[in-house]
Structure 1
Amino acid sequence: MQQFTGTGVALVTPFNDDKSVDLDALERLVNYQIENGINYLVVLGTTGEPATLTKEDKEAVKTKIIEVNNGRLPLVLGIGGNNTSAVVDQLKTTDLTHFDAILSVSPYYNKPTQEGIYQHFKAVAEATEKPIILYNVPGRTSSNMSVEVVSRLASDFDNIIAVKEAKGDIVQAMRMIQNTPDDFLVISGDDMIALPMTLAGGSGVISVIGQGLPNDFSSMINYGLEGKAKEAYQLHYKVADSIDLIFAEGNPAGIKAMLQKQGICFDEVRLPLVKASEELQTQISDFIDRL
C-alpha cells in the first residue's frame, strides 16, 4: 500500500482538434509526470472524461499509458458506476494485469442509503482480488459516504485499502483518519486541502493540479508526509491560486488550458463540456508566466 502514498494524478485524456484521442500528447503527459516526481498514475478517472469516451477510446488510452509507463510507476484504473452488477461485470471481464489498484467511485445519481453504499462496495470487493480505493466525491454523486461506512468497509474487506476523500471537509477527513485501521490510507481528493489532510495523518493526494505542476505539488506533499509544515506551506501558497483557477469553469477544462500553455496537449474537451473561456485561459497563462 505504500505505493499509493504521496502524489497520484488523475490524468486527462488529450484530444486533437477533431476530438479524437491524441496519443502523442498522452505520451508527453505521462513522461512529464514521471520525470517530475509523481508517485502513481490514475487512468480513466473523472478527469480523464470516461463518460464521453468510447470503448475503443478507453482501450487506446489504457494501452498507451501502459506502454509509455513501462512499469515505472504504479497504475490505478478507474472502474465505477451506479449499476452495481455492471461494475462487477466490468471488474470480472477487464484485463487488470498491468494495474495495481482500482479506483471506484461511490454510486452517483441513484442517491443510495449508507447501507446501499456499503452493499455496493461489498459486491465490488468480492468481484476482484485487486486493491480497491474507494472514491467519495459528493459534489458529483450527490451522496456522501459516511465515516462509519468507510470504516466498516475498511475493516470488513482486506482488499479495500484506501479512500479518496473529496468532500472538501477537513473534519470528515480527520475523522476518517482517526476511525479507520492504521494501515488504511486516507487520500485527499481535494487539491486545496491536500496538505492539511496529509499533515493530519493522511497519505497524500490524488490530484488534478498535480499533473500541471507536478514538481511543486509532489514536493509539497512529500514535505507534508515528513512533517515539515513550514516548507510544505511555502509551496502550498505558491500554487494555491492555480487550484482555484483550474476549477473555476469545471474539470478538466481548466487543467487542459494549463497543459496547453505548457505545450503538453490541446485544451479540447468533448461535449457537454466546453473549453475554458478566453478570460480564464488568460488568467491561467498569466499564472504560469509568473510562476
Structure 2
Amino acid sequence: MAIFTGAGVAIATPFDENYNIDYDSFGKLIDFQIENKTDAIIVCGTTGEASTLNHEEHIAAIRYCVNRTNKRVPVIAGTGSNDSRTASWLTHQAELAGADAALVVTPYYNKATQNGLIDHYSYVARHTNLPLILYNVPSRTGCKINADTMAYLVKNVDNIVGIKDAVGDVSYTAQLMYETQGDIDVYSGNDDMIVPMMSLGAKGVISVLSNVAPEDTHNICAEYMAGNVEKSRELQIKYLELIHALFCEVNPIPVKKALELMGICGPHLRRPLTEMEDANTERLRKAMIEVGIL
C-alpha cells in the first residue's frame, strides 16, 4: 500500500525575524494544509530549507510536525544527507519522532556512482524500519538515480518503496515504470507535470504549489484518479502560470513570499537565500490573483 496517494505538500518552514523556527506560524500552516485536503505533509525537504537547519532544529521540526498533525495525514520526514551515516542517523531520529516515512535525497556535492547510490540507500534502509521514498533531483544535487538502479533497489531492499521524481523528463518516468514493472510508488516532483506523470502511473505529487493551493492540488490528483481526466487537465493548466511564478526564483523564495501575501507566515529566509525581487513579487501576486488565492 502506498504511503499516500494524491498531493503531499513539501511544506515550508516559517522563520521569525531572528531566523528561528516560527512554530506558531508553522502550526497555522500545517492546520491550513490539513483543513484544505492535503494528503500528506513532507517536512524538512528542500522547500523546508532543511539544508540550513542544524540537527537539533531538524529533529525538532519533524517532531513538532508529527505532533501537530496528530495522525490526521501521513508525515514524511526529509532525512537526506551527502554523508551516509548522517542520513542514517537523521532517518532513525525521524522514526523515533513518529514520522510515517522518510524522504531521502541523493548525496549532493560529493555525488556517487550508481553502485555508490545502491550502497548508500541500502545502508540507510538497514538502519530503520521506516519506508523510504528516494528523492531524485539532479538539477540540485548533480546526482541522478538511473532507472535500472531504482529497479534494483526496489527489488532488493524491502523498505525502499517509492521515488520523488524531479528529473523533469517524462521519458525517464516511463523508463522507471518499465524497469520496475510498475512495482514502485512514483510521485511527481514537478508541479507542472502532475497529469503527465499520473498518466504513466504516478501516485500523485510532492508539491510546492500545495503550500498556497492545497485543495486544488489535491483535486488535480483526485480528479485524475476518479477518471475525470479532463477536469484534472483543466486544473493543471489553470495553475501553470502560478507554478512558473513559484519557480521564477530559486525555491522556496517565491513560496515564502506567497505565504506572506496570504498572511500565513513571514517571508524570512535563511542565508544564502534572499528576499524576492520586486518584479518577480509582482508577477507572483498577479498569478495568485488570477487563480483566486488573493
Q: Deviations over 1:126-166 (max 9, x none)?
A: 11111000110000110111000001101111110101110
TM-aligned CA deviation for residue 257 of structure 1 = 1.0
Change beyond 3 A, Cα 1:178–1:224: farther
Q: Amino acid of the residue matched to residue 68 of structure 1? A: R
Whether the aligned pair in 1 keeps the contact of 2:62 and 2:94 (CA below 8 Å) is: no
| Partner residue, 1:82 | 82
For 1:164 and 1:37, the matched residues in 2 are separated by 20
Q: Which shows bigger deviation, 2-11 or 252-261? A: 2-11
Judged with a 3 Å threshold, the aligned counterparts in structure 2 of structure 1 residues 131 and 181 are, in CA distance, closer, same or farther, namely: farther
Matches within 5 A, 1:187-266: 187-266=187-266
What is residue 13 of structure 1 aligned with on the other side?
Answer: 13
Report the Cα distance in structure 1 between the residues aligned to 2:186 and 2:7, rounded to whole angstroms. Answer: 12
Q: CA shift at 1:91, angstroms?
A: 3.2
Alpha-carbon spacing, 1:289–1:91, altered in 2? closer, same or farther (3 Å): closer
User: Which residues in structure 2 correspond to 1:147-226 (within 5 Å)?
Assistant: 147-226=147-226
Corresponding letter in the other structure for 2:246: I
Distance 1:59 1:90, change over 3 A: closer
Contact 1:154 1:181 in 2 (8 A): no
Q: Give the Å deviation of 1:95.
A: 4.7
Q: Say if 2:105 is the partner of 1:105.
A: yes
Kindly tell me: are residues 20 and 281 of structure 1, through their superposed partners in 2, closer, same or farther at Cα, counting changes over 3 Å? same
Task: Find the counterpart in structure 2 of residue 123 from structure 1.
Answer: 123
Helix, strand or coil at the partner of 1:162: strand
Give 1:190 deviation, angstroms. Answer: 1.1
The whole-number CA distance in structure 1 between the counterparts of 2:142 and 2:286 is: 34
Q: SS at 1:46's partner residue?
A: coil
Q: CA RMSD in A?
A: 1.5
Query: What is the CA–CA distance in structure 1 between the aligned matches of 2:94 and 2:40, rounded to whole Å?
Result: 20
Cα gap change, 1:32 to 1:93, in 2 (>3 Å): closer
Are 1:272 and 2:276 an aligned pair?
A: no
**CA deviation profile, 1:58-110 (whole Å, cap 9, x unmatched):** 24322332232111011101111111122223334555352111100011111
220-229 vs 158-167, which moves further: 220-229
Deviations 1:234-276 (A, max 9, x none): 1011111111111111010011111111111111101000121
TM-score computed with the length of structure 2 as normaliser: 0.94
Secondary structure in 1 aligned to 2:162?
Answer: strand
Q: Which amino acid letter does the alignment assign opposite residue 189 of structure 2?
A: G
Give unpaired runs (5+ residues) of structure 2: none
Q: 2:267 is matched by which residue type in structure 1?
A: D
Which amino acid in structure 2 is aligned with residue 11 of structure 1? I
Q: Aligned with 1:206: secondary structure?
A: strand
**SS of structure 2 residue aligned to 1:42:** strand
Q: CA–CA distance in 2 between the matches of 1:26 and 1:193? A: 27
| Post-superposition offset of 1:53 | 1.6
Q: Once the two structures are superposed, what CA deviation does each residue of 1:154-184 show, in whole Å capped at 9, x if it has no partner?
A: 1111110101110101110111122214442
> Aligned partners of 1:41 and 1:163: how far apart in 2?
16
For structure 1, which runs of at least 5 residues remain unmatched after alignment? Answer: none
For residue 52 of structure 1, what is the aligned residue in structure 2?
52
- Structure 1: how far apart are the matches of 2:92 and 2:261? 40
Contact 2:8–2:206 (CA under 8 A) maintained in structure 1: yes
CA contact (8 A) 2:135 2:166 kept: yes
Matched residues in 2 for 1:200 and 1:89: separation? 34
C-alpha displacement of 1:290: 2.3
SS in 2 for 1:2: coil
**Residue 57 of structure 1, CA deviation:** 2.5
CA distance in 2, matches of 1:216, 1:172: 26
1:219, distance to aligned residue in structure 2 (A): 0.2
